[in-house]
Amino acid sequence: MTRTLFRNARLIDPEAGTDAPGWLLVEDTAIASSGTGDAPEGSGDAQVIDCGGKCLAPGIVDIGVKVCEPGERHKESYRSAGLAAAAGGITTMVTRPDTDPAIDTPETYEFVARRANEAAPVNVRPMAALTKGRAGQEMTEIGFLLDLGAIAFTDCDHVVTSTKAFSRALTYARSLGALVIAHPQEPILSDGAAATSGKFASLRGLPAVSPMAERMGLDRDIALLEMTGARYHADQITTARALPALSRAKRNGLDITAGTSIHHLTLNELDVADYRTFFKVKPPLRSEDDRQAVIAAVRDGLIDTISSMHTPQDEESKRLPFEEAASGAVALETLLPAAMRLYHSGDIDLPTLFRAMATNPARRLGLPCGTLARGTPADLILFDPDTPFVLDRWTLRSKSKNTPFDGARMQGKVLATYVAGSQVFEAP
C-alpha cells in the first residue's frame, strides 16, 4: 500500500462548507482520512507533501468539454485536452458529442472512449447524442449507449425543435434513468445571433437575441419535464429572466439542475466592443445585470454547476467578421483562475465555488469524486489562489488558442493535480 500525507494544507471542503488549515491522507488511490489542524503523529511510511499553506481541494469535474475527435483533431485531441485539463486542475472531463461525426452510435462511442483512455492523463466520461446526427428527429440507441458507459445524453447547442421527438426521448431516457442535458434556447429567435439584444448590440450593428429566448426555451423544457418526469440538466443558464422559472421548477419537485459557464460569470456584453471574436460564445455574453444575477444564483445554489464549456476553434474559424466567426472559447486552463476572480471580488467563497465546480457535477452524474470524503477517489488539486500572472494564449496546452483572456491579468495557479492518488501535473 502506498500512502501519501498532505500536511500544512488549506483544506477546501465543499461538502462541509469549510476553508481551514488541515491535512489529508491518501492510501493507494483513495482518501483515507483528513482533518483540521496539524497532521497526526505516526504517519509511518507515508510520503509527506508539505502544501506550504496552499489550497487543497477536490479536482474539478467539468461538464461540457469539447474534444474534436473524431473529425477535427487539428483543433483538439484527447491528449492535448487531457494535458490542458491536468494543468487546469480538472480531474474529470465530461465530453460533448458534437463531433464530426456526432457520437451517436455504439461504434463511435467505443472509439472515443478507447481514445480517451489511451491518451488522456485525467478521467474522461463521454456523453452521447440524444438524437441521431443531433438532428432532433430520431433518438439514438440510448439503452446500448448507456450500457457502454455514456454518462448523459445531449444534442449540445442543437435544440430539439420537435416537441414530440423531445418528449419521446425524455420518456425513454426516464425509463432507463438516463440524464438528459439540454441547451435552453428558443431556436428561431436565437438563429444567427451574435450578441444579446439591447442598446450596445444596436450601436455595434450586431445581430442580437433577446434574453427572453433563453426563458422561452427553458419554459418549454420544464413543461415537457412535468409531462415525462425525466432527469434533466440545463447546460447554461445565463440570464436573470430564466431564473424564476428554474426556481419554480425546483420548488415543484422536478428532477432538474442547471449549470452556467465561467465566461458568463466573469465577462459581459461590453467585452465584445472591439469585435474581438475570441469573446464570441454561445449563448452570447450578457448584460452586467444578468451576470450579477447569475453569480447570485450560483452563490445561493439555484444554479448548481460551473463549467468551462471548452470549445476549441482554429484561427481560420475565428479570424472572420464577428457575426460570421465560429462561437466558442477554450477554457480548460483558465477555468480556475477565472473563477478566482469571483473569489477575490468577494462574490463567491472557495467552498461554494468548488461545490459548483466539483461536488455538484459529480453528484448529478453519479460519480464518486468531487469530495474530500473518506473512501472516495483521491482526485485532488493543490493551488495558490493569489499568484498573479498575465495570460499568454500561446502557452496554453490546448491545440487551439481561442481564449478571451489572452493578455488579461489573472490570479490563481494550479501547483499540482492528482488523479486516483497519482500526480498527473506539477507546475514548472
Which amino acid makes up residue 157? D
**pLDDT given at position 399:** 97
Which residues, given as ranges, of the chain have pLDDT below 50? none
Residue 95 placed within a domain: yes
Close Cβ partners of 137 (under 8 Å, ≥ 6 residues apart): 131, 162, 165
Closest CA to 218 of 203, 198, 204, 239: 239
CA angle at 282 for the pair 281 and 287, rounded to the nearest 5°: 75
Q: In whole angstroms, what is the distance from residue 236 CA to residue 227 CA?
A: 22
Residue 399 placed within a domain: no
Residue 275 placed within a domain: yes
Residue 389 placed within a domain: no
The DSSP bridge pattern shows strands 123-126 and 90-95 to be parallel
Residue 278 placed within a domain: yes
Cα-Cα-Cα-Cα dihedral sign, residues 148, 151, 153, 157: negative
Residue 21 placed within a domain: no
**pLDDT given at position 39:** 81
Residue 72 CB neighbour total at 10 angstroms: 19
pLDDT tens across 340-371, in order? 999 999 999 999 999 999 999 999 999 999 99
Q: What are phi and psi of 370, to 5 degrees?
A: 80, 20
CA 158 → CA 122, 189, 211, 303, distances in Å?
28, 14, 18, 22
Residue 179 placed within a domain: yes
**pLDDT given at position 1:** 81
Cell 457502454 belongs to which residue? 148
Which amino acid makes up residue 137? Q
Q: List strands edge to edge, sheet with 60-65.
A: 60-65, 90-95, 123-126
In this prediction the pTM is 0.96
CA angle at 240 for the pair 234 and 242, rounded to the nearest 5°: 40
Residue 378 placed within a domain: no
Q: Which domain holds residue 128?
A: 59-365
Which cell goes with 324?
460570421
- Please tell me the total count of domains within the chain: 1
CATH number at residue 156: 3.20.20.140
**pLDDT given at position 147:** 97
Which amino acid makes up residue 414? V
Q: What are phi and psi of 408, to 5 degrees?
A: -80, 150
